[in-house]
């Protein structure tokens, strides 16, 4: 069995994966610069975080429906005490309308 390949479909699989990646990457991506916030509500500093003098930035991933309302908000990074306050304030934001649902990355800063 010398000279026989163990995985004869390796090239086919690689080509298939590249084609699929091309399809997904060709889809339009709307960034935060394309979908601006029309109404911003400032965050409420959590009392415990203020008492502990915790400051920082919370990064959120926000799915925004075509009308501009945030639908699904996930904390990507930031202090655990600041995350819920950041989610609460961004849930009250409104974005400019678009043709389809978009995903925006938002940073909310908490400074003392």
3-state secondary structure of 14: helix
Element (DSSP H or E) covering residue 19: helix 10-26
Non-local CB neighbours of 17 within 8 Å, separated by 6+ positions? none
What gap in Å lies between CA 58 and CA 68, rounded to an integer? Answer: 21
What gap in Å lies between CA 96 and CA 13, rounded to an integer? Answer: 41
Reply yes or no on domain 29-110 having CATH 3.30.2420.10: yes
Contact 41, 89 (CB under 8 A): yes
pTM, entire model = 0.67
| Other Cβ atoms closer than 10 A to 62 | 22
Q: What is the full per-residue pLDDT of the chain (112 aa) written as tens digits? A: 565 656 555 665 555 554 444 434 433 333 344 678 899 999 999 999 999 999 999 999 999 999 999 999 999 999 999 999 999 999 999 999 999 999 999 999 999 8
């Amino acid at each position: 069995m010398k000279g026989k390949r163990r995985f004869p479909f390796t090239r086919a699989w690689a080509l298939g994966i590249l084609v699929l990646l091309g399809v997904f990457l060709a889809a339009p991506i709307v960034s935060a610069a394309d979908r601006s916030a029309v109404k911003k509500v400032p965050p409420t500093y959590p009392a415990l975080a203020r008492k502990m003098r915790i400051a920082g930035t919370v990064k959120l991933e926000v799915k925004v429906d075509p009308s501009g309302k945030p639908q699904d908000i996930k904390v990507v990074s930031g202090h655990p005490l600041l995350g819920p306050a950041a989610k609460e304030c961004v849930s009250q934001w409104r974005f400019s309308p678009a043709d389809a649902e978009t995903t925006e990355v938002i940073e909310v800063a908490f400074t003392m």
